[in-house]
């Protein structure tokens, strides 16, 4: 998805978007419950009737007209889906699809759809930048590697909200307001963002839900000529894949859900638990940082809690006085940009050295360039000051999938103790970031619900024990809901597990994809 990165970073950039899912996403109000009780209380997603409705037959009968699309070895096509499945005659959505045909040798196993997460990540960019060239050769030999950008994302009628200059201002907005004036400034920023999205795509904005994107995938499956959907989804892509299985359990083929989400949780709880996940990842980073002589947050033996206090104090200094970055557009490093830079590096332990260097430059030399680079990579801002539609689609999907976490700043203030307990470093900012859907121009159409997918073939659910963005408990919860799930655990750091260096994980998933044999439920790898 983030094709500007090195191959190793591209593998985990799918995960980078999960933070956007909840940091920039919306949350559901209601009582604070445990994950297990939430799953028990949530209704189950009901499967759709097996036969294809007559009104949808023209969509299911499409044949893609493949064409070259700029990347050697890849072909592209456009398919149509009804904008509103309840009223198929009311208009279409154009879906961008790309593939790289199976290279052989070996019997072709059909298509393997991939999705890198988000919501808002471009599946086509992920396919062309990593999956279509970096997935194991055996998998690429026997599957046509396929990606479809979900509706509202990247090449599939992308939602747009702000221009580059407006997004620069938005990303610098203080999300730890100290008084009424700063609170009003933050609320105004959320309102302007929402108004921009509403003005750009007033009709589409009502129809970019995960359920609709999952139904689109079934149209793509049919157009590809596959009886069942084979799929690898990361981060939010696990929610999309699980939703597909819940709606079409009999059409679910070999599904890998890596970095799993728990669909039974209301979004406030999702945000709170993700906040805990970032704290877990930061603790691991803090322990590693102080082992190095160049750690600017503490010397050898400094406790993680003190490392966090030192970072929080640095953020507070930036809140009062941003520092230069050398940016061509004159941007200075604010508290919000620095925080996002640190969060971005939590997704992959391979970025920890880069983060140490960036923090050293900022804290000791008042040079914020390194942290700005990390923040820009998270937001997908290019050197020309233009942003992808990642954050726009992210909010559009999240604000439709679940009711808003908080309806007012007062509700955020009341929740601050819980969020700050979950993460003394990030909790305050992540709580306030959960307010944005309160001002969304479209009411949510979804709700938290269990996904059981009774009757589906075995589904592999993958969780990483110190995952920052999709806490391990979510993988346990999803595996507990899916009727045919096999839980595969990676004991380690970073977001997602497949293709991140564990031969044990990769072997288990490759065997499943190529032979159809899932790992033993509860298998653990390191």
Catalytic residues: 235, 467, 495
Residue with token string 């979004």: 267
Instruction: Pull the structure tokens for residue 485.
Output: 């799930």
In the chain, how long is the greatest CA-to-CA distance? 68
Instruction: Pull the structure tokens for residue 405.
Output: 């976490």
Q: For residue 264, what are the contacts with CB-CB under 8 A and spacing of at least 6?
A: 35, 38, 39, 42, 448, 449, 450, 451, 477, 481
Q: Which of these, 172, 232, 294, 251, lies nearest to 14 by C-alpha position?
A: 232
Q: Which of these, 164, 189, 118, lies nearest to 396 by C-alpha position?
A: 118
Q: Which of these, 459, 460, 458, 471, lies nearest to 506 by C-alpha position?
A: 460
Q: What is the residue-wise DSSP string for 57-104?
A: HHHHT-----EE-SSTT-EEEEEEEES-TT-GGG-EEEEEEEEE----
Q: Which of these, 208, 182, 356, lies nearest to 286 by C-alpha position?
A: 356
Question: Does an H or E element contain 291, and which?
Answer: none
Residue with token string 């030999």: 141
Residue 506 CA to residue 142 CA, distance in Å, equals: 16
Residue 490 CA to residue 190 CA, distance in Å, equals: 37
Residue 339 CA to residue 317 CA, distance in Å, equals: 12
């Amino acid at each position: 998805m983030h094709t500007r990165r090195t191959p190793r970073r591209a593998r985990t950039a799918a995960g980078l978007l999960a933070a956007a899912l909840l940091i920039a996403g919306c949350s559901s109000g209601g009582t604070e419950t445990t994950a297990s009780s939430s799953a028990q209380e949530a209704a189950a997603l009901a499967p759709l009737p097996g036969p294809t409705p007559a009104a949808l037959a023209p969509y299911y009968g499409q044949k893609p007209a493949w064409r070259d699309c700029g990347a050697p070895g890849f072909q592209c096509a456009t398919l149509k889906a009804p904008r509103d499945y309840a009223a198929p005659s009311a208009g279409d959505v154009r879906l961008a699809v790309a593939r790289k045909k199976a290279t052989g040798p070996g019997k072709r196993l059909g298509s393997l759809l991939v999705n890198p997460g988000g919501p808002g990540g471009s599946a086509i960019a992920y396919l062309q930048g990593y999956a279509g060239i970096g997935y194991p050769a055996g998998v690429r030999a026997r599957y046509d590697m396929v990606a479809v950008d979900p509706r509202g994302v990247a090449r599939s009628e992308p939602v747009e909200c702000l221009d580059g200059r407006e997004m620069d201002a938005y990303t610098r907005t203080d999300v730890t307001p100290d008084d009424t004036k700063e609170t009003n400034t933050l609320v105004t920023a959320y309102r302007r963002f929402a108004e921009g999205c509403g003005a750009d795509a007033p009709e589409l904005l009502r129809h970019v839900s995960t359920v609709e994107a999952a139904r689109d995938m079934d149209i793509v499956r049919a157009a590809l000529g596959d009886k069942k959907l084979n799929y690898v989804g990361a981060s939010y892509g696990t929610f999309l894949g699980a939703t597909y299985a819940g709606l079409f359990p009999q059409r679910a083929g070999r599904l890998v859900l890596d970095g799993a989400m728990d669909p039974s949780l209301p979004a406030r709880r999702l945000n709170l638990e993700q906040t805990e996940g970032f704290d877990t990842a930061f603790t691991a980073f803090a322990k590693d940082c102080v082992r190095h002589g160049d750690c600017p947050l503490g010397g050898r033996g400094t406790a993680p809690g003190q490392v966090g206090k030192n970072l929080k104090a640095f953020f507070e200094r930036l809140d009062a006085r941003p520092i230069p970055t050398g940016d061509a557009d004159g941007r200075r490093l604010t508290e919000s940009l620095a925080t996002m830079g640190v969060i971005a590096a939590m997704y992959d332990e391979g970025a920890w050295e880069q983060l140490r260097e960036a923090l050293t430059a900022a804290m000791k030399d008042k040079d914020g360039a390194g942290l700005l680079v990390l923040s820009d990579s998270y937001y997908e801002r290019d050197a020309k000051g233009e942003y992808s539609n990642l954050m726009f689609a992210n909010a559009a999907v999240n604000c439709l999938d679940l009711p808003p976490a908080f309806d007012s700043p007062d509700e955020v203030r009341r929740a601050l103790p819980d969020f700050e307990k979950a993460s003394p470093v990030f909790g305050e900012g992540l709580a306030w970031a959960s307010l944005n859907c309160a001002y969304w121009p479209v009411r949510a159409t979804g709700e938290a619900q269990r996904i059981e997918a009774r009757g589906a073939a075995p589904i592999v659910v993958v969780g990483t024990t110190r995952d920052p963005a999709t806490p391990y408990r979510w993988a346990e919860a999803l595996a507990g809901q899916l009727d045919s799930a096999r839980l595969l655990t990676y004991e380690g750091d970073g977001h997602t597990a497949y293709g991140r260096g564990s031969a044990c994980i990769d072997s288990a998933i490759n065997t499943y994809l190529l032979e159809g044999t899932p790992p033993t439920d509860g298998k653990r790898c390191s």
